[in-house]
A and B are shown apart, each in its own frame.
Chain A
Amino acid sequence: MLTKRKSGEASRTKHQAVAAGLAAGVLDRRGFLKKSGLTAGALAAAGTIQLGSVRQARAAGSSATAPDVQIKKNVCTHCSVGCTVTAEVVNGVWVGQEPSYASPINRGTHCAKGAAIRELVSSDRRLKYPMKLVGGQWQRVSWEQAIEEIGDKLGAIREKNGADSVYWLGSAKFTNEAAYLMRKFGAFWGTNSVDHQARICHSTTVAGVANTWGYGAQTNSYNDIRNAKTMIILGGNPAEAHPISMQHVLSGKEINRANMIVIDPRFTRTAAHATEYVRIRSGTDIPVVWGILWHVFQNGWEDKEFISQRVYAMDDVRKEVAKWTPEEVERVSGVPGEQLRRVAEKFAKEKPATLIWCMGATQHTVGTANVRALCILCLATGNVGKPGTGANIFRGHTNVQGATDLGLDVTSLPLYYGLVEGGWRHWARVWDVPYEWLQSRFDEVPAVAGRKARSRKENMEAPGITSTRWFDAVNLPPEQIDQRSPIKAFMVFGHGGNTVTRLPEAIEGMNKLELLVVADPHPTTFAALDARQDNTYLLPICTSLEMEGSRTASNRSLQWGEQIVKPAFESKNDYEVLYLLAKKLGFAETLFKNIKVENNVPSAEDLLREINRGGWSTGYCGQSPERLKAHMRNQHKFDLITLRAPKDDPEVGGDYYGLPWPCWGKPELRHPGSAILYNTSLHVKDGGSTFRARFGTERNGQTLLAEDSFTKDSDLTDGYPEFTFGVFKKLGWDKDLTADELATILKIGGDKPDTVSWATDLSGGIQRVCLDHGVIPFGNGKARANAWNLPDPVPVHREPVYSPRPDLVAKYPTRPDERQFRMPNIGLSVQKAAVERNVARDFPIILTSGRLVEYEGGGEETRSNPWLAELQQDMFVEINTGDAADRGIKDGSWVWVTGAENSSKAKVKALVTDRVGKGVAFMPFHFSGWYDGKDMRDYYPKGTDPVVLGESVNSVTTYGFDPVTGMQETKCTLCQIKAA
C-alpha cells in the first residue's frame, strides 16, 4: 500500500499549480483531460461535444511561481435569489469558483446552475463574433459593419413605417444600469414597445400586488421565511426553480417546526418536502383561495383589527367568497373541503404565515386576479407587514425585479413613473433634454377602423405592445394593430425565442420581419427555427459576469457585481452596444449627456448615479455605487435573518443588506433600505412603512387612508395622503426645507409649486423632511380588497380558454373580447369555439409547463453548458401512469404531443410518473432546436449549437392573455399524447 505524504507545502495553493500549468502551456481543459486519462471514450460517448475551439487560457510571462490570484464577486444570473458568485482569477482567466460564505443570501451554496456558472464565460458554444445571414448562410462580419448596416436599416424602416414599427426587447439578465439605459434608449427612439421577460413571468404579480398595496414586489425576503410558522407555496417549485431559497424554507420548517403546505397540480420536488400537499386542477387557483377564505370567514379566523385599520372593502370579498362553499370548490378544483379547512386554520392561526408564489399563479389568463386573491388572503389573516409573513414572490432571473423597476415595460417609464405628461416631464428633467424633443420622436397614429387618431403626445402616453404578442403585431392585418404600422424590425437583447406561447405563429412572425437582430451570448431560437435568408444579425454580447453593475434580487436588495473577466471572444457588453447604436442613430450625445463614456463603454457607476437622481418614486435614490460596493466588501457583517448590519459599523452600520428599495433620500442620508415592506413596527428611518396611499383618499364615502395605524414614532398618528409641497405648506413643514431644496422645488413646480411631490422633487428635500417627521413620503393608506380600476375588481373564477371542463365554461366564462395593448384579445371567442368544437374530447389531457433545476428560461445558455446538459439530455413529457397505460406508452419511449391550435405537434420522450395526476401532462419549457419532430441543429451558425436540443413546449401551447398585462397562458392548455 502506498502512503500519502503530507508535507508542509500547504501554503502553495492550487492556483500556483494551475498557473504553472498555464505558463507551461499544458493546462487548458484539453490538456487536463488527456493527462487524467479520461479523454477518448468519454467524449466519444457524448457525441456532440467538440473541444476544438476551447479558448486558450494563457498566463502572461513566467510569473508561474507567484501568481496573483484575484477574487472577484458577481451575482449568479440563473434566478432571482441573488447568490454571490466568488471567482478566482489568474492573469485574466477565471480558474476557479469558491463558495461565497460571506453572502447572507446563499452562504456559500449554489444549485446546479450556480455551481456550473464558470463554464459560461469560456464556453466554446458561445457566439464568438458578429454574424449575418446572406442568402440563408451565416457569414462573419465586423462589429463596425454590423452596426453600420443595422443602423442604416433601422433608419430606413423608421422613415417608412415610423418609430413604433421597431420592437425593442430587453433582458432580465441586464444589470439595472443596462435595463435603465435600454428604456431610456426606447424613449429617445420614440416608442413604448420596450419590454423584457417580466412580461412572461411576473407581470401579473407586479400589476396585482401594486394595485393592492402599493409596490409590485416581494414584501419580505428569502431570509425572512426563516421566521414563518406556516408557509403556503402555491404555484411554485422552488426546489427546482430557486434551490437556494429552499435553504431558508427548510431551515424555517425545521427550526420552527413550521407547516409547509404546497398547493400545485403537480407533486413537485418541493411538495416532496411538504407537511401537506394539496393537488388542484390547473387554473383553479381562485376557487382554491376563496375556498380557504370561506373557512376563515366562516369560523371568524380573520384578523379583524388589521382589516379595520389597514384594508379597504374586505366586505366586497366576503360576498364573492360566500359563493365558494366546500362543495363548489371541490366540484371546480377537485380539492376536498376538509383539506382546505385544515390549510385555512393553519394559515390564519399558526402565525406568522407567509404565502409564496411563482409562475403557477401568474401565467394564466386570470394571472392578475390570482395574484390579487393571494394578496387578499394575506390581508384577511393579517399576514403582511411583519417578520415571517408577507407575499414572498420568487422571481425568475438575476435582475427581473430590477429590469421591471427600471422600466423595461410597455406601460411605464423607469421606476414606475406613468406614461403621463408628469412622468415624461420628470425624466426629461433628469435626462436634461427638452420634453418637446422627446415628444417629437414619437409617431402620429392615423385614424383606422373606427378608432380615433393619436397625436404624438397621445401616442407617447399610450402603452406599447407586449412581448407575448410581438408576432401578432407582425402577422395580423394592419388595420387591427393600433399604431402607424405593424412591427417590421425586432431588436432582441438577451431573450430566448421559444419562451412565448404559440410558437408556430411566432415563427411565421420571424419569417415576415424586415430586420431581426439578436444580441446575446448565444444565437438563440431566433437564429435556428425560422426560414430567414437575409437581414438577420447576431451580435455577440458578453454574459452578465463579464460586466459590472448592480442587480436587484427578488427581495429588492441591490448587489454590485464586478467584472470577473473581460468579455470573451469578440463579445461586447450591453452598455457598449447600446452606445454604438445610439451613436450610429445620432442621439448618443444627448443620451449620454451626464454619463462618462470611455472607449465606447458608458460608465455603470454614472448610469446608477443618474438612476439615483431620478428614482424617488421607488426609493432607488439612496443606493449609490459607493454604498453598494461597501456592502459587497462587508457581506459577512449582515445578519442571516434580519439582513441588518450592526449599527456601529463604520461603513455599513445599520444598513439592510443591499439597501432593499425603497431606500429613501439621497445616499448621504444613509437610509438603511426596507427589508420588510409595510412594516409599521419600525420607524421609517429604520425601514418601516405603511401601505401606500396611491389610490386617493376616499371612495364611496369610505376612507382610503389607514385608521389608527402608523409607523413607529410617527408625527402623524393616523392615515395621511402622499406628500406634496402643498401638503407641506399646510403642515408648516415647508420651513424645514433648506434654501437649496426650496429653490429646486420652486423651479420644478413653475407656476404650480404645490403639485411638486415626494416623487418629483429632485432635491430630495420632501423625502428628507418626511423622514425627520417619522412619516412615509408616499402616504399612509389602506390596502385594497376591491381594486376598482381592474377588470375584475374582486377576483372571480374564470375557466381557462381551453378548459378541460366545458360544463363549467357557461358559468365561469373568460373575459369578453376586448382591445388591449393596441391589439384585439379574443379570448372569449376562442373559448366559445373550443367548446363548440369539443376540443376537450379530442385533446383530453391538461398540459402545464415549468422549470427544471438544470436549465433556465429558453435554455440556450444552460443547454450549451456541458456540465448541465449532461444531466438532462432529452426533452420529455411527464404523463400519468394511467394515461400512459391507456395509450400503450412506455417510460422512455418517443411520443407525439399534439396541441389544440395550428395542428401543432412535438416529438418528445415519455416520462411515465404519478408526479402528475390522471389527465395531466407536464413539459419543461427550456428546450428548443427541434421543430415538428425535426432536428434543426444545422440551422445554428457552426459551432454555436447548444449541446442538447429538443422540442419546445411552446410548439403546442395556445391562445390566452391576461387582460391587465398581456401575460400568456402557459400553465393550462389541452393536448393529446400518442406513441410515436
Chain B
Amino acid sequence: MARMKFLCDADRCIECNACVTACKNEHEVPWGINRRRVVTLNDGKPGERSVSMACMHCTDAPCAAVCPVNCFYTTADAVVLHSKDICIGCGYCFYACPFGAPQYPRVGNFGSRGKMDKCTYCSGGPEPDLSVAEYEKYGSNRLAEGKLPLCAEMCSTKALLAGDGEMIAEIYKQRVIKRGYGSGAWGWKTAYRETVAI
C-alpha cells in the first residue's frame, strides 16, 4: 500500500488560497472551520515564503497518542482519521498537534468545543466508504474513488503535492535538481521523521 503524504513546495506556493477554498468546496466546510490554510513567513519582506498547511497525517501521530478516548486510527494508506462518534471534543489533540490541524466548532473548555474536525486527506471516516453517513460527518471520500485530495489536485502552481510519499518526494527532488534551489520539504521532519535528500 501507498504511504500517503503531503508536500508543499514553498518556492512554488504563491499564497493563492486555492487549496483552502477547494477544501471548502469539496466538503462544504462551514465558516470558521479551516481544514487547510496558508501560512506566510516574512510577509512583505525579501525572502517571503508561503506554505499550505493541514493535517500532515503523521507517522506515530501525536494527536492519537494524547486522545483520551482513542478516536484516532490510521488507514492502510497511512492516513490519520478519527471518529466523530467517539470524539468528546476535549481539545487535547489541538495542543499535541505541531501543525495546528484540529478545528472545533466552538470556543470553550473541555467538552464544550464540539466534535473535532480536521483534514481527512479526502478519505472520509470510519463509516462505509462513500456512504451518506460518511459524507455527512466527514465530507467526501475521494481516495475511495481513486482520486487524490482536491486541494493538491487544484493547486494553482502545483506547489502542493499529495500522493505516495516516495513518488512526491521524487517529483520534488527532480524539480529542485532542475531549478537549482529548494527550501526543503517543510514539516516533513516533524511529521514523518525524514527529509527529502537531494
Task: List residues of chain A with CB under 8 Å of any chain B CB.
Answer: 1-7, 9-10, 12-14, 16-18, 20-21, 24, 26-27, 29, 31-33, 35-43, 45-46, 49, 96-97, 99, 108-116, 118-119, 239-240, 243-244, 246-247, 250, 253-255, 257, 267, 269-270, 272-273, 277, 853-854, 866-868, 870-871, 878, 913-915
In the complex, what residues of B have CB within 8 A of residue A5's CB? Answer: 128-129
In the complex, what residues of A have CB within 8 A of residue B20's CB? Answer: 112, 867, 871
Asked if B135 lies at the interface with its beta carbon under 8 angstroms from chain A, I say: yes
Contacting residue for B139 out of A36, A118, A119, CB 8 A: A36
B105 touches A39 (CB 8 A): yes
**A112 and B132 contact, Cβ closer than 8 Å, known pairs A39-B105, A42-B30:** no
A854 touches B17 (CB 8 A): yes
CB-nearest residue of chain B relative to A872?
B17
- Name the 9 nearest CB pairs between A and B, nearest first: A915-B44, A41-B106, A35-B136, A42-B32, A116-B21, A112-B17, A254-B179, A37-B115, A46-B31
Asked if B157 lies at the interface with its beta carbon under 8 angstroms from chain A, I say: yes
B45, B49, B136: residue with the most chain A Cβ atoms closer than 10 Å: B136
- Taken residue by residue from 79 to 114, chain B's Cβ proximity to chain A (1 for < 8 Å, 0 otherwise) reads as 101011000000000000000000011110000001
Known: A97-B25, A254-B179. 9 other contacts (CB 8 A): A3-B73, A21-B136, A27-B136, A38-B29, A41-B107, A110-B156, A111-B17, A239-B16, A246-B157
In the complex, what residues of B have CB within 8 A of residue A250's CB? Answer: 12, 157
Size category of the binding interface on chain B: 35 or more
A42 touches B33 (CB 8 A): yes
9 A-B interface contacts by CB (under 8 A): A1-B64, A2-B126, A17-B130, A108-B153, A111-B16, A111-B18, A257-B180, A866-B31, A878-B44
Contacting residue for B84 out of A36, A46, A277, A878, CB 8 A: A36
In the complex, what residues of A have CB within 8 A of residue B115's CB? Answer: 36-38
A2, A14, A17, A24: residue with the most chain B Cβ atoms closer than 10 Å: A14
A16, A20, A26, A871: residue with the most chain B Cβ atoms closer than 10 Å: A871
CB distance from B32 to the nearest CB of A (A): 4
Asked if B15 lies at the interface with its beta carbon under 8 angstroms from chain A, I say: yes
B129 touches A7 (CB 8 A): yes
A878 to B158, CA, bound (A): 29
Report B134-149 residues with CB < 8 Å from chain A CB: 134-142, 144-146
B21 touches A112 (CB 8 A): yes
B81 touches A10 (CB 8 A): no
CB-nearest residue of chain A relative to B47?
A272
Report B55-91 residues with CB < 8 Å from chain A CB: 64, 70, 72-76, 79, 81, 83-84
Contacting residue for A40 out of B18, B81, B114, CB 8 A: B114
A10 touches B21 (CB 8 A): no
CB distance from A41 to the nearest CB of B (A): 3
In the complex, what residues of B have CB within 8 A of residue A4's CB? Answer: 73, 75-76, 79, 81, 126
Report B1-53 residues with CB < 8 Å from chain A CB: 11-12, 14-22, 24-26, 28-34, 43-50
B14, B84, B135: residue with the most chain A Cβ atoms closer than 10 Å: B14
CB distance from A520 to the nearest CB of B (A): 22
In the complex, what residues of A have CB within 8 A of residue B54's CB? Answer: none
Contacting residue for B16 out of A240, A267, A913, CB 8 A: A240
Asked if B150 lies at the interface with its beta carbon under 8 angstroms from chain A, I say: yes
B132 touches A26 (CB 8 A): yes
CB-nearest residue of chain A relative to B72?
A1
Asked if B191 lies at the interface with its beta carbon under 8 angstroms from chain A, I say: no
Task: List residues of chain B with CB under 8 Å of any chain A CB.
Answer: 11-12, 14-22, 24-26, 28-34, 43-50, 64, 70, 72-76, 79, 81, 83-84, 104-107, 114-115, 117, 126, 128-132, 134-142, 144-146, 150, 153-158, 175, 178-180
CB-nearest residue of chain B relative to A21?
B132
A257 touches B106 (CB 8 A): no
A31 touches B141 (CB 8 A): no
CB distance from B36 to the nearest CB of A (A): 11
A9 to B145, CA, bound (A): 9
**A18 and B135 contact, Cβ closer than 8 Å, known pairs A43-B31, A115-B18, A871-B20:** yes
B179 touches A14 (CB 8 A): no
A14 touches B105 (CB 8 A): no
CB-nearest residue of chain B relative to A42?
B32
In the complex, what residues of B have CB within 8 A of residue A10's CB? Answer: 129, 144-146
In the complex, what residues of A have CB within 8 A of residue B178's CB? Answer: 254-255
A267 touches B18 (CB 8 A): no
A27, A269, A270: residue with the most chain B Cβ atoms closer than 10 Å: A269
In the complex, what residues of B have CB within 8 A of residue A915's CB? Answer: 43-45
A27 touches B33 (CB 8 A): no
Interface of B is mostly: loop
CB-nearest residue of chain B relative to A871?
B17
**A45 and B31 contact, Cβ closer than 8 Å, known pairs A31-B136, A38-B114:** yes
CB distance from A267 to the nearest CB of B (A): 6
In the complex, what residues of B have CB within 8 A of residue A42's CB? Answer: 30-33, 105-106
In the complex, what residues of A have CB within 8 A of residue B64's CB? Answer: 1
A96 to B130, CA, bound (A): 14
A96 to B64, CA, bound (A): 32
In the complex, what residues of A have CB within 8 A of residue B18's CB? Answer: 109-112, 114-115, 243
A36, A37, A247, A854: residue with the most chain B Cβ atoms closer than 10 Å: A36
In the complex, what residues of B have CB within 8 A of residue A270's CB? Answer: 14
A277 to B46, CA, bound (A): 9
In the complex, what residues of A have CB within 8 A of residue B34's CB? Answer: 870
Contacting residue for B32 out of A3, A46, A115, A269, CB 8 A: A46
A812 to B79, CA, bound (A): 64
Contacting residue for A118 out of B25, B74, B136, CB 8 A: B25
A428 to B75, CA, bound (A): 69
A39 touches B30 (CB 8 A): yes
A4 to B83, CA, bound (A): 11
**A17 and B131 contact, Cβ closer than 8 Å, known pairs A10-B146, A40-B114:** yes
B158 touches A99 (CB 8 A): no
CB distance from B87 to the nearest CB of A (A): 8
A14 touches B135 (CB 8 A): yes
A17 to B25, CA, bound (A): 16
B128 touches A109 (CB 8 A): no
In the complex, what residues of A have CB within 8 A of residue B104's CB? Answer: 41
A870 touches B17 (CB 8 A): no
A97, A108, A870: residue with the most chain B Cβ atoms closer than 10 Å: A870
B16, B22, B136: residue with the most chain A Cβ atoms closer than 10 Å: B16
In the complex, what residues of A have CB within 8 A of residue B24's CB? Answer: 116, 867
CB-nearest residue of chain A relative to B106?
A41
In the complex, what residues of B have CB within 8 A of residue A6's CB? Answer: 75-76, 129
Contacting residue for B154 out of A108, A254, A913, CB 8 A: A108
CB distance from A115 to the nearest CB of B (A): 4
B15 touches A239 (CB 8 A): yes
A421 to B50, CA, bound (A): 56
CB distance from A913 to the nearest CB of B (A): 4
B43 touches A913 (CB 8 A): yes
CB distance from A688 to the nearest CB of B (A): 32
In the complex, what residues of B have CB within 8 A of residue A18's CB? Answer: 135
CB distance from A196 to the nearest CB of B (A): 26
CB-nearest residue of chain B relative to A107?
B158
A482 to B14, CA, bound (A): 48
A14 touches B16 (CB 8 A): no
CB-nearest residue of chain B relative to A18?
B135
CB distance from A202 to the nearest CB of B (A): 22
A41 to B25, CA, bound (A): 20
In the complex, what residues of B have CB within 8 A of residue A21's CB? Answer: 132, 135-136
In the complex, what residues of B have CB within 8 A of residue A853's CB? Answer: 15-17
Contacting residue for A267 out of B29, B46, B70, CB 8 A: B46
CB-nearest residue of chain B relative to A867?
B24
Contacting residue for B153 out of A2, A99, A868, CB 8 A: A99
A867 to B30, CA, bound (A): 8
A269 touches B130 (CB 8 A): no
A133 to B10, CA, bound (A): 51
A253 to B11, CA, bound (A): 11
B136 touches A26 (CB 8 A): yes
B14 touches A2 (CB 8 A): no
CB distance from B107 to the nearest CB of A (A): 7
